[in-house]
Chain A
Amino acid sequence: MDRRHPSVAAALALAVSFSAVAQEPLKIGFSMSLTGPLGGNGRAALLAMQMWAEDVNTKGGLLGRPIRLVYYDDQTNPANVPGLYTKLLDIDKVDLIVSSYGTNVIAPAIPIAMQRKMAFMTLFGTNPNAKFKYDRYFQIMPNGPDPAVGLTKGFFEVAMTMDPKPKTVALVGADAEYPHAALEGARTNVKAAGLQVLYDKTYPMSTTDFTPIVRAIQATNPDLVFVASYPPDSAGIVRAANEVALKTRQFGGAMIGVQYATLKTQLGPLLNGVVAWEVYAPEPTIKFPGVEEFLARYQPLAAAQQLDPLGFFLPPYAYAMMQIVGEAVQRVGKIDQAKIAEDIHSHEFTTVVGNVRFAKNGEWAEGRPLYVQYRGIRGNGLEEWKKPGHEVVLWPARWKSGDLLHPYDQHRK
């Protein structure tokens, strides 16, 4: 019963055309969330990885061997992950492994990678390696060596540039792994900035109506409101902030979801004034080599598959993750997990998301999360978001493309 995925079959067919040189395909295995709550992101990441495999294969493969991606759906359920990775390693005998999307599905794979001493490049986990301290673990989300703190630092550094300086803050987030990690990082930054916390609460993922929460925040009258949320609640909170006419000087945070086309187009003008975490913005200051070409190729493919048609969030990073693995393998010249890990640790990589060096714990040596302010959005169309000027980069200074407009309630519309 060895039926393969259609896409694997396609890769296989491609592989056959290269087998003139009688080379075994080089198999890269991973699980990916293709169904379940994070299925949309998982599929977008998969598309980017398939693009990379195709790019490499048209250039003759890696180490002269054609790439074959072997992947299974983990259904966004961590309980499926150990089985899938042992299958990949023991039965499919993949040469390399990379990860699924997000901490919940990365963490259960780390012990397996450790046991087999595999180099493990991962996609957007918020420091699951803190407990394992595995020296062959790498992670591509650009938050820096202390991910939770790096992820949230920009919001507060931007806030402290306001005159007069803000004094109080409200923190709110969803009851899930990522938002709690982000809130923890935010608390560290809040302390460092000397801000007073007026509200610090979380809400369940099943929350339908966010207006009571935003009103409770408003009642404390904070200078800043920092949100750490997942897609449906990001939309709910931004809507509620507009409906309640939230009066605060800076509003936004690390909100998953506002990076994708669905929420950008759905919320449209409601996002104006929000200061949000992004990993890419079509601004003149953000010119990673090849990213625009990548997006130009990705966008029509994604639209055809009903995936995120902008691709500003996960896809370039999924592609970059594969670029790094590929480059390291090429340089090492053979599949040697120790040498590959060592190579990734000791080199700087040029990718579609810019130049990357890795710290000892496998995170980016120097973080580069962006904090942008949405402005000038007029409608609910997609085109506006592709043009510069609507996602003004405020932080970090090196990529800055404009200044913060404040207070939030006066720049809401």
Chain B
Amino acid sequence: MSGPLFANALVSGLLLAGFYAAVSVGISIAFGMLDVVNIAHPAFIILGSYAASIANASMGADPIVTAVALSPAFFALGLLLYRFYHATFERRGREPLRGLAFFFGILFVTEVALILAFGVDYRSVTARYIGTTWRLGTVDLPLRLFVPFVVSVAMTLSLQVFLSRTFFGRAVLAVGQDQLALQLMGVDPVRIKQIAFGISIATAGVAGALLVIIQPVQPSLGREYIGLVFAIPVLGGMGSIAGTLAGAAILGVATSFTATFFGPSWAPAVSFGLLLFALAFRPSGLFGR
């Protein structure tokens, strides 16, 4: 095991982890804190990719700028979706499992909407940094992966600060645990959950822009990410943003090391094997409460 190869594998793993955190932090909020099994999350990621790609193709807009500009729209989409979900499922006291089928439906419908509107061909973006690589000694830093890493870490950390430092953030953390206490404090838990779900979908939009920077995207690609986006928050500990970062780091580095030193083909077995192992010995995840 040579030094530079090791260092590069580690850096690659961390860069990948940044991207993983972006795709799964929304699930950490929706699923971990609000108990909404939003299996359609990857479909919203792909929606974000398409938005970024279209703005890029028609106006030359930078995908990340597009993602940030469109995040209020994604937020509003999440708001509406949660309202509907709440009215039809939560309010009537139905278990999350029904919500699961509901979101499966949303997943298919979103996929088809993309196909109908934009066809089935692969989509991508161009941006100057995509072809650039920084070299720090023997370590390569491809900006195609480094830029998403920076954006993702910034997004995740600011979410962490927001959730732990603000009143609203604490209310979100509390909503999953004791709704009654919140109501007694004069806070409407539904409103809190609605906004938090909006944030969750907004992160999907940003993650989509990051995804399309990294690789070309087609409408059904989201299905590939279902396992991953749920695995990471569960591995890290439900409802903990720090845990999500840790889970992403573990899977990212594990994937990169497996690919470098062992055989890339085994990477999913290693990742999900780690998850199984972690679940068996620490069922509530690494940072679980």
Q: Which residues of A contact B (CB under 8 A)?
A: 34-37, 39-40, 42-43, 175, 201-209, 211-213, 215-216, 219, 231-232, 235-236, 239-240, 242-245, 257, 260, 262-263, 266, 269-270, 305-308, 380
Contacts and interface: CB of A to CB of B under 8 A. Distances in A.
A208 B216 contact: no
Interface stretch (B154-162, B165-173, B256-264): B256-264
Given A201-B264, A212-B9, A212-B260, A40 B145 contact: no
Contacts of B115: 35, 39
Interface string B18-33: 0100000000000000
A306 B119 contact: yes
Given A209-B256, A232-B216, 5 more contacts: A203-B267, A205-B224, A209-B214, A213-B264, A231-B216
Which of A205, A209, A306: most chain B Cβ within 10 A? A209
Interface string B120-142: 11111010001101000000101
A6 to B, nearest CB: 13
Contacts of A260: 121-122
A215 B8 contact: yes
B286 interface: no
Contacts of A202: 263-265
B260 A266 contact: no
B214 A306 contact: no
- 8 closest A-B pairs (Cβ-Cβ)? A306-B119, A203-B264, A39-B120, A243-B142, A212-B259, A40-B121, A266-B124, A212-B260
A34 B119 CA distance: 10
B131 A216 contact: no
A409 B263 CA distance: 25
A206 B16 CA distance: 13
13 contacts: A35-B219, A43-B119, A204-B264, A207-B267, A209-B12, A209-B16, A211-B12, A212-B259, A213-B264, A232-B221, A236-B215, A257-B122, A263-B216
Contacts of A257: 122
Contacts of B228: 206
Interface of B: 2, 5, 8-9, 12-13, 15-16, 19, 112, 115, 118-124, 126, 130-131, 133, 140, 142, 144-145, 214-216, 218-221, 224, 228, 255-257, 259-261, 263-265, 267-268
Contact of A40 (B9, B142, B218): B218
Contact of B256 (A39, A212, A235): A212
Contact of B140 (A37, A205, A219, A243): A243
B175 to A, nearest CB: 33
A340 B13 CA distance: 57
Which of B2, B15, B140, B257: most chain A Cβ within 10 A? B140
A244 B260 CA distance: 13
Contacts of B2: 219
B220 A37 contact: yes
Contact of B121 (A212, A232, A308): A308
B218 A39 contact: yes
A306 B214 CA distance: 22
Contact of B124 (A40, A211, A262): A262
Contact of A212 (B12, B124, B130): B12
A245 B118 CA distance: 35
A212 B8 contact: yes
Given A40-B119, A213-B264, A239 B16 contact: no
Contact of B120 (A35, A203, A215, A269): A35
Which of B15, B264, B267: most chain A Cβ within 10 A? B264
